[in-house]
Amino acid sequence: MNSTAAIYPGSFDPVTNGHLDIIQRACRIFDRVVVAVADNTTKKALLTIDERLDLLQKVTQGMRGVEVDSFDSLVVEYARRKKINVLIRGLRMTSDFDYEFQIALTNRRLAEDIETVFLMPSEHMSFVSSTLLKEVASLDADISSFVPKVVERKLKERLQGR
């Protein structure tokens, strides 16, 4: 069997159980999955790039074939540097499709040799978004069923420190 690899790019601010579900699904399809954290300076992140990388390292530890990295370029440029021609994108709801479809078509125009594969999380995680979690966590809600413990602790620490 040929070794296959894919990149799962995102901001992961913070990583959620939904992200982990997509990573696990990707691991069943690909031998190697690079979880690539976008260091996007135009987006105001709650967690630093180093914190996001650290949390991803911790929550993916023990997942065979998973590598955590960061990038600060177009994802297709990053993919070319890594010599990987598959991008993974998660689709939670049908409302995600329009946005994700735009991104996939733009990436295809920029790099027609790089394919986008869409994966859907388990139904019970289809509504979980990092943005929503940050909002409810800031109101001191219980988010333990949406994120790993280490992420929950980091979010509480950061939000209480504001």
pLDDT at 42 over 90: no
d(Cα 63, Cα 27) in Å, to the nearest integer?
Answer: 8
Strand 32-38 with 66-71, pairing: parallel
Please indicate whether residue 132 or residue 76 has the higher confidence score (pLDDT). Answer: 76
Helix axes 94-110, 75-82, angle to 10 degrees: 60
pLDDT at 2 over 60: no
Please indicate whether residue 40 or residue 113 has the higher confidence score (pLDDT). Answer: 113
Min mean pLDDT across 42-56, 88-102, 121-135, 140-154 is at 121-135
d(Cα 115, Cα 70) in Å, to the nearest integer?
Answer: 20
d(Cα 19, Cα 10) in Å, to the nearest integer?
Answer: 9
The verdict on whether omega for the bond into residue 148 sits within 30 degrees of 0, i.e. cis, is no
Domain ranges of the chain: 5-160
Global confidence as pTM: 0.91
CB-based contacts of 150, cutoff 8 Å, min separation 6: 55, 58, 59
Q: CA 5, 34, 81, 14: dihedral to nearest 10 degrees?
A: 150
- The single residue of 3, 28, 43, 109 carrying the catalytic annotation is 43
130 is catalytic: yes
Indicate the pLDDT class of residue 96, thresholds 50, 70 and 90. Answer: confident
- The single residue of 82, 92, 108, 158 carrying the catalytic annotation is 92
Domain range 5-160, its CATH number among 3.40.50.620, 3.30.470.20, 3.40.50.11740, 3.30.1050.10: 3.40.50.620
- The single residue of 52, 89, 130, 154 carrying the catalytic annotation is 130
pLDDT for 1 equals 37
Helix axes 17-29, 49-60, angle to 10 degrees: 60
19 is catalytic: yes
Q: What is the DSSP string of 53-105?
A: HHHHHHHHTT-TTEEEEEE-S-HHHHHHHHT--EEEEE--SHHHHHHHHHHHH
81 is catalytic: no
